[in-house]
């Protein structure tokens, strides 16, 4: 059975590793975001990995050796001794974030740390998580459950709602 797994790769090798896997018929994904970089003489949009050092691969664990054979791969991310499995809907959320460039800044003063929140509209509708950081009251940092990683997503506060469901046990 194939699942999405997270592998840790050398920093700044995410794109090369993903391309290599795709050319070897291994489904791989490395979400990216575009940022405007400024130099003294020019500005340019540059693509950066959304999650530095991570690449997602969809494989059967029997194919694990094919992934580890790549010299830029450091290993699988494991929790409690088992390879971290990422849900398909979380990969779709990452793809949606990368595709839409959802980056609207509003204050989120009505939210507190550790509040359970849910995005109520837009491409990220249904994304749930815990507010783990509020910086300058501009954005919330939402943690995805199976990754145990935080991804900063800037969202307008009017589309966030407090969610009383328990997401994490």
Condensed to tens digits (0 to 9), the pLDDT of residues 7-42 reads 999 989 999 999 999 999 999 999 887 778 888 999
- In tens, the pLDDT along 2-16 reads 999 999 999 899 999
What is the reported pLDDT for 46? 86
Under CATH, which number does the domain 2-86 receive?
Answer: 3.30.70.940
Whether pTM > 0.85 for this model: the answer is no
The residue ranges of every structural domain in the chain are: 2-86, 100-169
Mean residue pLDDT of the chain comes to 79
Residues 6+ apart with CB under 8 A from 65: none
pLDDT at 88 over 50: yes
Name the fold adopted by 100-169: SH3 type barrels. (2.30.30)
pLDDT at 105 over 60: no
Quickly state the pLDDT bin for 109 (edges 50, 70, 90).
very low
What is the reported pLDDT for 140? 62
pLDDT at 135 over 80: no
- In tens, the pLDDT along 51-86 reads 889 999 999 999 999 999 999 999 999 988 999 999
Overall average pLDDT of the 77-106 stretch: 77
Give the Cβ contact number of residue 160 at 10 Å: 22
């Amino acid at each position: 059975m194939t699942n999405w797994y997270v592998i840790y790769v050398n920093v700044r090798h995410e794109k090369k590793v993903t391309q290599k896997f795709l050319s070897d018929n291994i489904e791989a994904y490395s979400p990216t975001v575009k940022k405007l970089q400024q130099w003294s003489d020019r500005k340019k949009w540059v693509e950066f990995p959304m999650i530095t050092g991570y690449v997602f691969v969809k494989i059967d664990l029997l194919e694990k050796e094919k992934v580890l054979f790549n010299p830029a791969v450091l290993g699988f991310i494991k929790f409690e001794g088992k390879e971290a499995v990422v849900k398909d809907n979380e990969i779709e959320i990452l793809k949606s974030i990368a595709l839409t460039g959802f980056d609207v800044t509003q204050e989120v003063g009505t939210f507190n740390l550790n509040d359970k929140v849910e995005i109520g509209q837009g491409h990220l509708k249904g994304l749930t998580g815990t507010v783990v950081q509020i910086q300058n009251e501009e954005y919330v940092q939402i943690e995805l459950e199976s990754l145990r990683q935080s991804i900063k997503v800037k969202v307008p506060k009017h589309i966030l709602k407090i969610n009383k469901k328990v997401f994490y046990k």
